[in-house]
Amino acid sequence: MLDRIIMQRIPLPFAVLMLFACAALAESGEDAWLRYARLDPHVASRYASMPTALVTLGHSSVSRSGQTELLRGIQGMLGRTLRIDIGAPTGPAIIAGTVEQVRALDASFDPPGNLQADGFALISTRIKGQEALIITGGTDRAVLYGAFALLRKIAQAEGISALNEAQVPSVPVRWVNQWDNLDGSIERGYAGQSIFFENRRVRPNLARAAEYARLLASVGINGCNVNNVNADLHILDSDFIAQLARIADVFRPYGVKLGVAVNVSMPKQVGRLDTFDPLDPKVAEWWNGKFDEVYRQIPDFGGVVVKADSEGQLGPSLYGRNPAEAANVIARALKPHGGIVFYRAFVYDHHLDWNNLKADRARAAYDIFHPLDGQFDDNVIVQIKHGPIDFQVREPVSPLLGGLQKTNEAIELQITQEYTGQQRHTVFLIPMWKEVLDFDMAVNGQNTPVKDIITGRSFHRPLGGYVGVANVGLSTNWLANQLALANLYGFGRLAWNPDLTAQAIADEWTKLTFGNDRAVVKAITNIQLGSWPAYESYTGPLGLQTLTNITGPHYGPAPESQEHNGWGQWIRAGHDGVGMDRTVATGTGFVGQYSPTVQKIYEPLANTPDNIVLFFHHVPYTYRLHSGKTVIQTIYDSHYEGAEETGEFVKEWQLLKGRVDDGRYEELLAQLEYQAGHAIVWRDAVDDWFHQMSGVDDQKGRVGRHPNRVEAEAMELRGYRVFEPTSWEGASGGKGVACSAEMTTCSAQTKFDGAAGLYEVDIEYFDLSSGTSKFKVLVNNHVADEWRADMLLPGNEPSADSSVRHRTKGLTLHPGDVICIEGTPDRAERAPLDYIEVLPLQR
Ligand code: GCV
């Protein structure tokens, strides 16, 4: 009723505007880059001459998806409902069909390019004398890709009146992996529960899975392994295959093939054989029978991914067999059905001897797989992580990528941000992947960039491609950070065309996701392109890797955790110097796994680029880099610069208020503010740790000195007790305070002794998963601010993982004012506090 009264009083044009404003408010990110938001009328008018009829020549479910998508997209963006026509056009029409189907209408039809398999073309021409916009390709799936490409053009306000272009994907294999467990959890997933599984069954409602397939298809991804590579032994149980078939059913209309992760020990552990030796004929027979069963129910099943002899997974080594033998027995069972095996090269010993200076996890993949080159069957693809360690913020390219010339290869990239801020930090990964793909491995003295090796072009391999570990979840916007979706989008776009620039991908994604407002596109692209360099600067510069908590959640800073364990992510920091000597001359010999040309870059210290130097060399802290700065000063400066840059992202985002919908604006503002605060936690933890380790002072006098900071342990405490976190660098000054068990409210107060003025007060506290404490800021007993510690962060103790900054802005303070932080604990979360920092208000 109230709505009606308001509408009656508002003149109609305003009412329409308000409706749009409300629609803008409602954006949640669920539609990702397929929003099809209405174009502004001026832009829409450019498409006035576009045909209003649509003829779809194919009859498959994939063809129907293309038709539905075109109807939906044109309706959404231009407000027009296309008329569906059947058969030869009698007037101007959009015609969607394979080359063969279009030729059946008009034998003279001759599309540009060599449209094999997934390649498509968009052509403005005449068919039977009628004006036509043709979307064509080698297969129905290619035509679907063409439909998405056309809609992408319209969404970006590009002209479509004189089209004559063909696009062919760079590789045949463009897959994602999900690390979903059957109980619904996702290993290294940061966006909620699985869209596929719950309670050890396939979810009854697969609507999100179908939507996911649509998103994947829109960027050309054609396969998805749905379960964790630490594979559940029951994934191919007979009753489960029937359930998997339901996922395949919702993937099929989008041309996405279903795959699963299997465990090589299944023949024994669930198949009741007495062995899983890959050379035992019983084992081969078991796999044959299993895949016959799978293909009876899922005729277009794509294949399997295998993780073996790695991180506790059983493998062929138990029987003295090698990965090729393990892969081939499965591949031969899949071969008659057209399936493929992705065998992961992520095989290493995680019980390495830290005291052995020659031990090196980075060597493992090449040492194990290089001798097997040529022994893998043709339907096996060795799936290789892009770096030799594990998705660190920077690693050199895995030498194995250049080490296999007679084996199909796929590069594994990680979209889920395990080591890059877990989507609580915005880190646009495309620039990093581009560096990897463009890196010239110089195999046999030839120009062999990684992107050419994986296409199969360099060594004439029939299969090859890209695998992205995506780990989307039930979170409304798929990855729980609106900007993180650009990584999924960019992964697909790069797999399609690795020559696209990071800038072009960021621009394109932003236009599709937030609209064509130039200021918005510029600011978001800027934030995205600056985000990986910033993250690298405040986490692990100079090739130190992410310096995160290796034995814990891989999230916050914990440099000490890299060392003294068997995981081999060592940085070998001592009092004398830092870095891992991987040279041939004096180190682990890892450099020797590269071609001679690449060895010349990494073996001599003098040639090694600064940004990766400590991955390859152990040097004194006082060693001067190419930049002219010492290593230790670079570490200090870089952490300050990265944290500062992250603060700038917040300001840049704030300029977009009112230009993007309020929902996404507020959500991202909160995310970027949190990130800016956590970047300071990173900065201080890593710089303090290196300060203590090196004993070298920061030339700029910042490290260990925070003039505006008051440590909680130095405040006047009521009910709070001082504690030391497990890792001293996890709290400023190595200490924090937590409310005693018997107290219901605690306080920490200090007297302000600065000049009168306007200030912002940063309160650094710890937000654990064991409760939701409440905090208040009081100035002279008046409540100035309050909030709840309700974030979902990893870890259950006060540490750098759980450290959060709350900023109270615009406080007028006078000398002698009492600033008090009051904490009300909740269950095991004892309202823990680290420090407060009082800073002049930044306008
Ligand atoms: C699925 C890293 C991750 C593991 C992951 C593994 C892998 O070690 O931390 O969670 O396991 O990589 O890629 O197999």
pLDDT tens sequence across 688-715:
999 999 999 999 999 999 999 999 999 9
* 346 C-beta closer than 6 A to ligand 1: yes
Average pLDDT over residues 54-70: 98
**Ligand 1 centroid – CA 305 distance (Å):** 14
Give me the residues paired with residue 197 across strands: 202
Q: What is the pLDDT of residue 116?
A: 83
Please check whether residue 288 is in contact with residue 333, taking contact to mean a CB–CB distance below 8 angstroms: yes
Evaluate if residue 566 carries a pLDDT over 70.
yes
Provide the pLDDT for residue 1: 31
Output the CA 177–ligand 1 centroid distance in Å: 12
User: Ligand 1 centroid to 584 CA: how many Å?
Assistant: 29
- The pLDDT of residue 117 is 86
| Token pair belonging to 359 | 């031990």
CA distance 802 to 145: 43
- Identify the H or E element spanning 711: strand 709-711
Q: How many alpha carbons lie under 13 Å from residue 341 in its C-beta half-sphere?
A: 31
Tokens of 718: 């009521």
In single-letter form, the type of residue at position 183 comes to: D
Distance, in Å, from the CA atom of 569 to the CA atom of 755, rounded to the nearest integer, reads 48
Averaged pLDDT, 169-191: 98
User: Looking at ligand 1, which atom is closest to the CA of residue 310?
Assistant: 14
What is the pLDDT averaged over residues 163-172?
Answer: 96
pTM over 0.75: yes
pLDDT digits (tens, 9 = 90+) for 241-262: 999 999 999 999 999 999 999 9
Q: Would you say residue 362 has pLDDT above 50?
A: yes
- 185: Cβ below 6 Å to ligand 1? no
User: Whose CA is closest to 232, among 189, 190, 184, 193?
Assistant: 184
Decide whether any atom of ligand 1 lies within 6 Å of the 636 Cβ. no
Q: Does residue 24 carry a pLDDT above 90? A: no
Percent of the chain with pLDDT over 70: 97
Asked if the model's pLDDT at residue 470 lies above 50, the reply is yes
Which pLDDT belongs to residue 521? Answer: 98
Which numbered atom of ligand 1 lies nearest the CA of 385? 13
Contacts of 50 (CB under 8 A, 6+ apart): 74, 78, 94, 133, 160, 161
For ligand 1, the distance from its centroid to the CA atom of residue 185, given in whole angstroms, is 14
Percentage of the chain surpassing pLDDT 90? Answer: 94
How far is residue 697 from each of residues 67, 208, 419, 621, 634, measured CA to CA in Å? 66, 53, 29, 11, 12
25: confidence class by pLDDT, cuts 50, 70, 90: low
Give yes or no for residue 518 having a pLDDT over 90: yes
Q: How far apart are CA 142 and CA 643, in angstroms?
A: 44
List C-alpha distances in Å: 46 to 94, 159, 664: 16, 8, 29
Residue 23 has pLDDT above 60, yes or no: no
> What is residue 336's DSSP assignment?
G
CA distance 828 to 797: 10
| Segment 438-469, tens digit of pLDDT | 999 999 999 999 999 999 999 999 899 999 99
**HSE on the CB side for 96, CA within 13 Å?**
31
The pLDDT of residue 843: 56
pLDDT digits 0-9 by tens, 646-663: 999 999 999 999 999 999
Average pLDDT over residues 490-498: 98
Quote the DSSP letter at residue 274. S
Is the pLDDT at 204 greater than 90? The verdict is yes
From the list 548, 543, 534, the residue with the least C-alpha distance to 638 is 534
Determine if ligand 1 sits within 6 Å of the CB of residue 485: no
pLDDT band at 113 (very low <50, low <70, confident <90, very high): confident
User: What mean pLDDT is predicted for residues 589-602?
Assistant: 98
C-alpha dist (Å) from residue 400 to 310, 643, 717: 17, 34, 57
Q: Find out whether 231 and 265 touch, Cβ atoms under 8 Å.
A: no
Annotated catalytic residues are: 311, 390, 418
Say whether pLDDT at 26 is over 90: no
Is the pLDDT reported for residue 22 higher than 70? Answer: no
In this predicted model, what pLDDT tens digit does every residue of 292-335 receive, in sequence order? 999 999 999 999 999 999 999 999 999 999 999 999 999 999 99
Would you say residue 18 has pLDDT above 90? Answer: no
